[in-house]
Structure 1
Amino acid sequence: MNTLVIAATIQAIETLRYTPAGLPLLRLQLQHDSEQQEAGMNRKVQCVLPAVLIGEKANLPLQSGDQIKVKGFLAQRSAKSTQVVLHIQELQRIQY
């Protein structure tokens, strides 16, 4: 199983592009901050995660600073890269 659900803030958004098949593709940089329990102790967790939206979701009106909750899967950026990228399948805005 390869499923990740995470809440994050959009830190950066690249320009909308298109795959060779003509699908819209949008790359994002996500910033996650939380506090988690590990071995009975609280741990502050911070990470930056590259993410991508492919297809109709790439046309969503998103901007830097948006708080979102996403669900997707992890994959290598390309066959020649070891960088992990989150492929977003579901996205919802978090309202505070």
Structure 2
Amino acid sequence: MNQVRLIASIAERDVLRYTPAGIPIVAARLLHSSTQSEAGIARLVEFEIAAQAAGRISEEFNQADLGGTYHFTGFLARKNRNSRSMVFHITGFE
């Protein structure tokens, strides 16, 4: 199963664009910071992740406040077929 839930803030967001098939899509960078328990020790976890929202959710995501913190759901996939880089594909947020 490839399902990701993440609390993060929107660090930056590109302009809404359309794929050649006419699907709206917007790319962004999300920032996450939390304390996680690993081997019984509290660990500060901070990272930035590439993300994108496509279809109906992209228009809602495009209106979300920059710097705002949201609960995101989605999945991870390669940036493109030949890439090793991962992108978080947003399927929902609140």
TM-score by length of 1: 0.93
* Counterpart position of 2:12: 12
Structure 1 unmatched ranges of 5 or more: none
SS of 1:31 mapped into structure 2: strand
Bigger mean CA offset, 60-69 vs 22-31: 60-69
Matched letter for residue 90 of structure 1? G
Aligned AA for 1:56? R
- Residue-pair matches, total: 92
Partner of 1:44: 44
Choose 40-49 or 57-66, whichever is displaced more: 57-66
1:70 maps to amino acid: F
RMSD: 0.7
Structure 2 residues not aligned, in runs of 5+: none
Distance of 1:24 and 1:66 partners within structure 2: 22
Higher-helix-fraction structure:
2
Match of 1:90 in 2: 92
Which TM-score applies when normalising by structure 2? 0.94
